[in-house]
Every structure is written in structure tokens, then in C-alpha cells.
Amino acid sequence: MDGIEQKSASNYKQWFLIALVVGLVLVVISGGIWVYQKTMKKKPPNADQITPMPIQEETTITPETEITPGEVTTIPSAKAELKIQILNGGGVKGEAGRAAQLLEKVGFKNIKTGNADRFDYEQTEIKVKADEKQFTPEIIEALAGNYSVSSDLQDLDNKETYDVVIVIGKNKGGE
């Protein structure tokens, strides 16, 4: 009799474990289905209250001031983004920084300073990329009061990092 009771107790434990595993699997599957339905089939918030946006009519922008041919105009954001390098070519300590301040006063913001390859430049030289030449009159005007700016404007290769390179020379304005 003892053997029969052991077999039935062992069978009972085996069936109980199988039923427990099957029950857990069913709970996990039904929980997954419930989560999927809740997250994937969500209705957008206030879906019943969405109203179509009106179509705007085309707007024509006309300039308030007339621009005459030959007049130099600058776009403020383009001027502020112009990449300018000012190099000290006269050997006077801090001269590139002083020139940078002059340009910042008239709206140029993206300016880096440093030393030139040598310190024997007599006049201030300006090199400009072809696409940025519209800014040169304003640059020359800002510098001319303090520096002797060369009238020989040089072209800067379009592959260069900076749009304008200015080398400050020894001679001051009016010399």
C-alpha cells in the first residue's frame, strides 16, 4: 500500500506542476495581449475635437524701400555670420583684437584673431572670397580711420576656412 500512495502523491505533484506552468503561461499571454491592445489601439487625445487648420493665402512681400543699382545692401544675419580672420602683421601687441572690436561695432560677429606669418606688413591688407565682396566697403570704412588700408583688394580662394582675411599692418590711418 505504501507504494501506491507514493505513486499517487508523485503523480499529483507532477500534474500540479504541469497545471501551474500552463496556468502561468496563459496569464503571461493574456497579460501581453491586454498590454498590446491598450498601447497599440489608443485613440488620439481629443480625436473628436480635432478641427482642420485653415489654408493660408499666399502673401506677396514687397520691399518698403527702393534699392538702386550699385547700392550696397547687407543682410544683418549674413553679416554677423561672415567668417573673418584678423591677423597682426605689424607686430604691435593686441592690434588684431582692436581691429576686431572696430568690426564688431558695425555688426560683424564671427571674428577670430591671431598673428600673421610675419610682422613687417606696412599697410593693412584685405583678402575676400568672391561671393562675399559686398561686405568689403563696410569693412574698409570701419578700419580706414585707424589703419592705412591697401587699395589692392586681394581674392581669397573659396576653399579657405574664412570668408575674409585681414592682415593689420604697421601704418596707421592717414599716414
For the chain, domain boundaries? 1-35, 78-168
Q: How far apart are CA 129 and CA 158, in angstroms?
A: 6
What predicted TM-score, i.e. pTM, was given to this entire model? 0.56
Look over the chain and give the mean of its residue pLDDT values, rounded to a whole number: 81
| Tens-place pLDDT, residues 117-169 | 999 999 999 999 998 899 989 998 999 889 988 888 899 998 999 999 999 99
- Strand-pairing partners, residue 125, are 167
Q: How far apart are CA 59 and CA 131, in angstroms?
A: 30
Q: How far apart are CA 138 and CA 104, in angstroms?
A: 12
Tell me yes or no: is domain 78-168 CATH 3.40.50.2300.
Answer: no
